[in-house]
Copies of this chain bind each other. A is one copy, B any other.
Amino acid sequence: MSNKHSPAEPAEPAVEGKPKAAERIRRTARELFYREGIRAIGVEEIVTKAGVTKPSLYRSYASKDELAAEYLRDYEVAFWKVFEAGAQTHPDDARAQLMAYIEGLSQRATQAGYRGCGLTNAVVEYPGDDHPARMVAETHKRKLRERLVELSAAMGAREPYMLADGLLLLLEGTYASGQMFGEHGPAESLVAVANQLIDASLR
């Protein structure tokens, strides 16, 4: 069995100073896809900026669509790391854990050049449900919704599903509006609004 077209883990995680071609492509694609959008970026631009050539890209990834899906898988890993970071600093306090993420998000989403959530953006770019990148994004959002239900229940909400939905709407609203309004968009009010919603949802 060849490992071609399935570099799930980087194998050699760039220990040596020189990252392999596949890894350079991955990183470059990640940045370009996120900043400019997947449809907006051609494979030519990716390999040029990565300092490699097209055949190298297609030796490690089956297609541009698959590279896009891979980018989103990386994005998801990074997301969870940030999202769950509060578990260390606030163990046994679901509300504080969640609010730690929300406070950080509010900061990021009110900075110029903010580009929202790469997973959500991919769903907007690919309306058809057959695109590999979209499938990664949809699956992730369902996981996020479940996680929010857990956190809502742990907070003691009367109706955890409703609070989770409300929080998810606020998060997605922040991702979207963060890239429409400049530095003083509605994401500035995210923390206060989330607290209001949580307070109103507790018994």
Q: Name A residues whose Cβ lies closer than 8 Å to a Cβ of B.
A: 35-37, 39-40, 115-116, 120-121, 123-127, 137-138, 141-142, 145, 161-162, 164-166, 168-177, 179-181, 186-190, 192-193, 196-197, 199-201
Contact = CB atoms under 8 A, between A and B. Distances in A.
Given A193-B165, A196-B200, A179 B127 contact: yes
Copy tally for this chain in the complex stands at 2
A153 to B, nearest CB: 15
A166 B193 contact: yes
A169 B190 contact: yes
Given A193-B162, A197-B193, A197-B200, A123 B179 contact: yes
Contacts of A199: 200
Contacts of A168: 173, 177, 186
A190 to B, nearest CB: 7
B138 A162 contact: no
Contacts of A137: 180
23 contacts: A35-B127, A37-B39, A37-B124, A39-B125, A121-B124, A124-B125, A127-B179, A137-B180, A141-B177, A141-B181, A145-B181, A162-B192, A162-B193, A165-B189, A165-B193, A169-B174, A169-B187, A169-B189, A169-B190, A169-B193, A170-B173, A171-B173, A193-B197
